[in-house]
Chain A
């Protein structure tokens, strides 16, 4: 694989990232036990991990590395890194560099305690620790972030990417149209690893690459892709082309389903069109439930046809307008309100157990009255809050959801 074969061997070979490299070196030179770790962040494929590997090689250090594909529970991290970071090696005098890759890939569930273990490693390590992340602002990384020096890796500029691609072509003996290389760099949007992967795909079995060859590449930009697919579903007149428009989307059919659901109402205006589109979706949903409940995967084909061709054929005439498609609210709602909902559910659970009934009954039979009472009678509100060991804010939140 060219992404491995042409990995930078030294810091100098890492494309662009001049500022980041300087800061990383400075951090490394100044590091002593108890110092902050370095957190390298930025979009995928722009050289974070390579840079760390190059640094280790240049400084003659052993690289101790773990990444998101390992399960990173507290135990595992401690098992894998714990001894390594605390003991200087008995054999030989080579130092070590610790790399904990892709920390935003920590799973809340399966990597439970992972954050705690990483924090411990950073605090106790007698060797420098480097972490990488795509999104360092993730809430679960709050504690880790405070123990790190943040170093940003920017997207690789098109011209640097082209330069690197051209070098590779030369060494592989491939003749490439500069326009084609530029197009490859552009479509990868600062992801040099992705660009090299594309280049290798195109060059396989040929000695020449032109702009026209690019058509065979699948796209890696998921979002641009789904918007294109939605346009295909909503605007096309042919049932088949509506169906085919989603096949290249790199997304679970279930997720595509919710994208379509969200946007029917943005695209269609006539009430008859809306009714037919939602009926098609409702029928797709029936097949979807058969897939889920009976694990009958053959049913998925019908679900997909109904949600694409079915929704597409619901319109009398395509709408001649530009539609701004939206992300599915339903999917984002759950992730956005996770913390709030956790508190909410715990409140509902306490009420349910005090009232000897289910949370479902609490919602339908009790809450309307209790919230009404709390609104009328300040004393009742206080008693309710204290009986539930809840704060005033908790009650307010309850009212904001159910009032």
Chain B
């Protein structure tokens, strides 16, 4: 049975359906026509079509058999490069179906790999380049080591404009025969920050609330579905209720297993909405930055964030 998640249902199936990214599509089409693609690196903000582009390429190259010729793997889920290497090795050993010369490995969230792992990956790419083409996907190409960049065709995906997001919303509205007012469309565009995945999710959740989608419904969904754990955690810390704040942190990091970086980023995003003096916001940014740096250097997210919360709680106590 299909999953019936709109983000998936309305994911473009052909290169022509991809929203914007015309500069990438134009060049990729040439590769596909020649049936010869190089290793590629797709970099750009979330929800702009990187994974979709890779899947479309596979579809156009292999037709219905594309699934058999594609290995999708995700660096943030595979614990080590050895796992990836093992998978790739097994995959590369069998020949492509349907007479193709090579198969495709899509390595998503490649920026999650450490520099060491990337060096190992580089060797893997070389070893299997006769039978496998790599499409690496990341948010920032700067996180990919130069030797890999120099072996790939690098494509930068653009942040999508309001009109781009609107076009995508219209597709869903048409496909699902939705009734939606202009204010609600604007709300989706504002809230999704150019991320089409999020736009589809917002629309689908709001559509469950009633026949005609309004601006209020969109905001309702956004506030309900966006867990406000981070906000509550910060508010508790600011009131000096450290124990309560720590409990929420535990829930997110230990129980739900959220990535420390995601929580830090959300804290960063929320700072300016906090009810504290303007100067304190800037100080907090510095503290959050230090915390983020330590985590990125391999420190434990729970410990570092606990220290941050305790610091926030104490600074409030001092201010009275």
Contact = CB atoms under 8 A, between A and B. Distances in A.
- Tell me if A's interface is mostly helix, strand, loop or mixed: helix
B226 interface: yes
Interface string B283-320: 00000000000100111101110110111011111100
Interface string A333-373: 10000000000000001001111111111011110111111
A364 B262 contact: yes
Interface of A: 261, 265, 271-272, 274-275, 277-279, 281-282, 285-286, 288-290, 292-293, 329-330, 333, 349, 352-361, 363-366, 368-373, 376-377, 380, 383-384, 386-388, 401-402
- Tell me if B's interface is mostly helix, strand, loop or mixed: helix
B65 interface: no
A330 B258 CA distance: 14
Given A271-B314, A272-B318, A281 B307 contact: yes
Contact of B72 (A277, A290, A330, A353): A353
9 smallest CB-CB distances across A and B, nearest first, come from A275-B314, A282-B307, A289-B298, A278-B307, A369-B201, A278-B310, A368-B225, A376-B208, A275-B310
Given A274-B314, A359-B77, 9 more contacts: A265-B246, A275-B311, A279-B307, A281-B303, A285-B304, A356-B8, A359-B74, A363-B256, A368-B225
B205 interface: yes
Interface residues of B, number: 62
Interface of B: 1-5, 7-8, 11, 46, 51, 55, 72, 74-77, 108-109, 197-198, 201-202, 204-205, 208-209, 221, 224-227, 240, 242-243, 246, 250, 254-259, 262, 294, 297-300, 302-304, 306-307, 309-311, 313-318
A272 B224 CA distance: 34
A352 B250 CA distance: 24
A383 B208 CA distance: 14
A124 B25 CA distance: 67
A196 B257 CA distance: 46
A7 B32 CA distance: 79
A296 B205 CA distance: 50
Which of A261, A364, A370, A387 has the most C-beta atoms of chain B within 10 angstroms of its own C-beta?
A: A364
Contacts of A371: 225
A376 B205 contact: yes
A191 to B, nearest CB: 34
A333 B255 contact: yes
A385 to B, nearest CB: 10
Contacts of A285: 294, 299-300, 303-304
Contacts of B257: 363
A358 B76 contact: yes
B55 A356 contact: yes
A387 B318 contact: no
Contacts of B11: 356
A60 to B, nearest CB: 53
